[in-house]
């Protein structure tokens, strides 16, 4: 073998080794320091969500959304075949509970749409860690599934002062994108939000991992292995207080859109919708 051939051989071997080992090196560099599983629901049972882990929101809750969140109703939320299924339906459902903040429903005796929303408030809260879900979002104009977090002081501290971390939102009107967003009040008590919505193709076609890694100084957002957004917690600092340095709880829900919301107006033809969750895990 002449010198030129040797050089070419060595160069090609170098490229081969780089191609083989670079992904492993990149993975090692990006490996999360949060490796200890401290809480999870793998949904390896049947029936309603585990009452030791989840509570319910009930009624018309926020954003003047059209769906009524039911409590402990299998038609709207159930565990089967190793997954959690949250189902939004078009149906006439007798109203059980209407808060004063939802006066637009006054005088109505039935809701036209139902769905479900569960949370760990009253069961479990955390400060810092990796919060991960593997899920398949439902496609359609007006579909609005989410995996998110709110400050555990929310019952007494109003939003946005309690802070909100949207690990994943999917808006049916933007079917190729997912959202990672942080909501808070700045040092002047003005509402602020910051986030990104990467184009990821067709997330509704399969299961994907949505995660947030929450540190003392930042929150990192992931779609599968893609880190697409980092939020600096200093932006939410107000004197010695920062909502993102306090305990938060988890939420899972399937909302429906209307005109003026990020999910867009609802198309009844897409109903029923099903948001399928393989697992929820918390690492610290």
| Residues with a known catalytic role | 164, 169
Q: How far is CA 47 from the centre of its chain?
A: 23
Closest among 190, 210, 90, 195 to 140, alpha carbons compared: 90
Cβ atoms of 283 and 277 within 8 Å: the answer is no
Closest among 63, 41, 179 to 118, alpha carbons compared: 41
At which residue do the structure tokens 């209407």 appear? 98
Per residue, the 3-state secondary structure of the chain, as one string, reads CCHHHHHHHHHHHHHHHHHHHHHHHHHHHHCCCCCCEEEEECCCCCECCCCCCCEECCECCCCCCCEEECCCCCCCEEEECCEEEEEEEEEEEECCCCCHHHHHHCCCCEEEEEECEEECCCCCCECCEEEEEEEECCCCCCEEEEEEEEECCCCCCCCCCCCEEEEEECCCCCCCECEEEEEEECCCCCEEEEEECCECCCHHHCCEEEEEEECCCEEEEEECCEEEEEEEHHHHCECCECHHHCCEEEEEEEEECCCCCCCCCCCHHHCCEEEEEEEEEEEC
Cβ atoms of 87 and 273 within 8 Å: the answer is yes
């Amino acid at each position: 073998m002449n010198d030129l051939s040797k050089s070419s051989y060595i160069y090609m071997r170098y490229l081969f080794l780089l191609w083989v080992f670079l992904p492993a090196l990149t993975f090692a560099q990006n490996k999360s320091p949060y490796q200890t599983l401290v809480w999870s629901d793998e949904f390896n049972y049947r029936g309603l969500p585990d009452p030791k882990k989840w509570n319910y929101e009930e009624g018309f809750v926020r954003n003047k959304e059209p769906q009524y969140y039911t409590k402990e109703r299998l038609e709207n939320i159930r565990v089967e075949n190793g997954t959690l299924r949250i189902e939004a339906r078009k149906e006439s459902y007798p109203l059980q509970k209407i808060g004063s903040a939802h006066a637009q429903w006054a005088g109505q005796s039935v809701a036209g749409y139902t769905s479900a929303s569960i949370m760990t408030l009253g069961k479990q809260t955390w400060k810092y860690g990796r919060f991960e879900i593997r899920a398949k979002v439902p496609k359609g104009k007006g579909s609005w599934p989410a995996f998110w977090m709110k400050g555990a002081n929310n019952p007494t501290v109003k939003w946005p002062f309690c802070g909100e971390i949207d690990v994943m939102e999917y808006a049916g009107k933007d079917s190729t994108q997912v959202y990672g967003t942080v909501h808070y009040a700045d040092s002047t008590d003005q509402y602020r939000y910051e986030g990104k919505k990467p184009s990821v193709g067709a997330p509704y076609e399969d299961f994907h991992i949505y995660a947030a890694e929450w540190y003392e100084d930042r929150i990192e957002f992931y779609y599968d292995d893609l880190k697409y957004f980092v939020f600096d917690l200093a932006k939410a600092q107000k004197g010695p207080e920062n909502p993102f340095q306090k305990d938060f709880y988890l939420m899972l829900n399937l909302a429906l859109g209307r005109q003026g919301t990020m999910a867009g107006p609802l198309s009844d033809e897409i109903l029923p919708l099903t948001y399928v969750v393989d697992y929820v895990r918390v690492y610290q």
